[in-house]
Amino acid sequence: MSFSDLKICVVGLGYVGMPMAVAFAEKGVKVIGFDVCKPKIEAYLNGEDPTCEVGTERLVKTL
């Protein structure tokens, strides 16, 4: 089984969840992220990292 065959869900896209989701996505894993904070999700979808843990460049590459 390769990473591209895997699918995961990360619940909570804060200081721990988002970096973990990006790290998995960079390895080719299909990632679905979930968070209850709508403004945070909107920021991520706009290529902004409100936690400043991942950085815009890495975030945009994995969206």
pTM: 0.87
Contacts of 51 (CB under 8 A, 6+ apart): 14, 15, 18
- pLDDT tens for 6-22 read 999 999 999 999 999 99
Q: Is the dihedral of CA 42, 48, 50, 56 positive or negative?
A: positive
State the chain's mean pLDDT as an integer.
Answer: 92
- Please state whether beta strands 30-34 and 7-11 pair in parallel, antiparallel, or not at all (unpaired): parallel
Amino acid at 61: K
The pLDDT tens digits for 28-39 are 999 999 999 999
CB-hemisphere CA count at 13 Å for 34?
4
